[in-house]
Amino acid sequence: MIKKVLITGATGFIGLNICQELTNRGDLLTVLSRNPEKARKELPFVNDFVKWDYKRPDEWKEHINSKNAVIHLAGANLFGKRWTKNYKKVIIESRETSTINLIKTIGEVKNKPEVFVCSSAVGFYGNSGDKILTENSPAGNDFTSNVCKKWEKAASLVEQFKVRRISIRTGIVLSRNEGSLQKMIPPFKFFIGGPLGTGNQWFPWIHIKDLVKIFLFVLDNDKITGSLNAASPNPVRMKEFTQELGRILNRPSFFKVPSIILKIALGEFAETILASLRVRPEKLIQYNFNFRFRNLRGALEDLLKGSSTG
């Protein structure tokens, strides 16, 4: 059945991929964007664009009515700036307030969506060492954990309107053109690649193609509710990840970046990069989700074909 889907954050690299897949299968999209003209250029296959200021819900309220689903991805870039006190407020407000306003508006429209799918992150759990983290594991206490807690609490408000809610705790997304992987490749090409910190921390990765499949999977499966881990069922330690990356790029992978250097360069954000998160996608396994890329080698080979520098 064709779905009418409203989506925020559509021009991010995750949003772009989700919009493409939804369009490919015939769904009808409405994109809420701060810059509709720019979004139109980046998403030429989408027909409906609406100006979005999350602080002014009256301007876009009518576009939520009669939608089958709302996908909320928008939020200030965690990597965008150094985490000053002011930028932390921006990070939180862009997620918490925008979500609350979306849900308040859902409560006011006559024909409510059946499902509200909202972003979150595995950073919810905080640095957890070797503990296996399922959806039932407790939240951490650092800044990223608190952001995710506030975001998920806000998203859960939609349940009072009998709308199914899923908060997707996304792992570290591996993509060919954007994201963490592309930031890690340049040092390898200069023969100085290697793990960040000790290399013993768990690295909860997910291939972009599997992540997009997960969003569509929860959109369609009305039995899935609440929070959900979106990470490969086979996490690896950071040193294993960089060894595999080095093997594919035909470069060494033994140049560690000391934790202290990261903390000096990145400030508090370094704690997020160095966190150990041994995430298990318990719900996806329970509902028999078919991961296309279960193992790191196959994922990296798919993304880096032709990238060997040997």
Q: Tell me the C-alpha distance between 124 and 126, whole Å.
A: 6
> Looking at residue 54, what DSSP letter applies?
T
pTM (two decimals):
0.93
Beta strand pairing call for 202-203 and 236-237: antiparallel
Q: pLDDT category, 309, cuts 50, 70, 90? A: very low
Mean pLDDT of the chain: 92
**pLDDT tens digits, one per residue of 128-174:** 999 999 999 999 999 999 999 999 999 999 999 999 999 999 999 99
Q: Where are the domains of the chain?
A: 4-175+205-232
Choosing among 3.20.20.100, 3.20.20.10, 3.40.50.720, 3.40.50.1220, the CATH entry for 4-175+205-232 is 3.40.50.720
**pLDDT tens digits, one per residue of 32-79:** 999 999 999 999 999 899 999 999 999 999 999 999 999 999 998 887
- Residue 204, pLDDT > 80, answer yes
Rg, Å, the chain Cα set? 19
Q: How many CA atoms lie less than 13 Å away from 227 in the CB half-sphere?
A: 25
Contact 255, 194 (CB under 8 A): yes
What DSSP string describes 271-295? HHHH---EE--HHHHHTT---S--S
Dihedral angle over CA of 145, 187, 300, 269, nearest 10 = 0
Residues in contact with 264: Cβ distance below 8 Å, sequence separation at least 6, in sequence order: none
